[in-house]
Amino acid sequence: MKSAEERKQQSIALLKEQGVPYIEHLPVIETADNVRLRSAEEIARRAICCLITIQLACDIQNQQDVEDSRLFMTGLLDRFGVRLFLTEKEKAIFDGTSTEQDWVNMVWKYEAYWPLIWALGLVDSLTFPDQICDCQKAIEVVSTKATFDEFMKDVQLRPIDDLLDEADLIFRYDWACVDARIKGEPAPAGLNSEVVYERHWGLNWLIDADGQNDWDLVSCNT
């Protein structure tokens, strides 16, 4: 099992190859000994709630039969048995108290959802974050399943070391994006800063980096 410093140096070596700026004194992240390993079921419930809420937010944003969509998406929540696991911000999308900015923010959660289904072994890899995820694939991961139990049959939870490797790397990508923004420069090496931020969100939730266990309030400080 890697030490936190070994993981940091592994990330830095990759950043060098990719031409992404870094600083040596950016700290290490958590280790396998001090993170809470989430169960596959917990991650799966969070992923399904997130994906279904994103779909509703997309329909609201596009003014596509909103009430019919709300009923349909609520039915999906019940079909998968996850309605009780919605966050407060997700509930606001469903109960009609959300704002236009809330819809925009929710649609971006595709990118935070993507590392969840990666952690469940449902997508092969987290590629360089220079473009948005495969939204069709993101939908099909859930839409092709009839029940939560059927969804879980394809799940193979990745080791915590894999999650920590990606969490450390995205932490350093996000620092590079924030540093560029402060300087009034574009994100370096073609990074998409929004994708980086949301992926950071999803990975930090996976390792419970801030100890809050609240999807709506994940910290992505760099």
pLDDT in tens, the chain (222 residues): 789 999 999 999 999 999 999 999 999 998 777 788 899 999 999 999 999 999 999 999 998 789 999 999 999 999 999 999 999 999 999 999 999 999 999 999 999 999 999 999 999 999 999 999 999 999 999 999 999 999 999 999 999 999 999 999 999 999 999 999 999 999 999 999 999 999 999 999 999 876 767 999 998 988
pLDDT at 213: 76
CA within 13 Å, CB half, 102: 17
Dihedral (Cα; 14, 110, 142, 78), 10-degree rounding: 140
Please count the residues of the chain: 222
pLDDT at 64: 79
Dihedral (Cα; 182, 185, 186, 192), 10-degree rounding: -10
pLDDT at 210: 67
pLDDT at 91: 97
> Which residue is it, tokens 């469940």?
120
pTM: 0.95
CA distance 106 to 93: 9
pLDDT digits (tens, 9 = 90+) for 197-218: 999 999 999 998 767 679 999 9
Burial class of residue 23 (count of CB atoms within 10 Å of its CB; 0-12, 13-18, 19+): exposed
Percent of the chain with pLDDT over 70: 99
**Helix or strand run (H / E) with residue 198:** helix 193-206
| Sequence-ordered list of residues with C-beta below 8 angstroms from that of 88, at least 6 positions apart, any chain | 216
pLDDT at 94: 97
Helix (H, G, I), strand (E, B) or coil at 1: coil
pLDDT at 163: 95
pLDDT at 37: 80
Residue 137 near residue 114 (C-beta atoms within 8 A): no
Burial 149-159 (b: 16+ CB within 10 A, else e): eebeeebebee
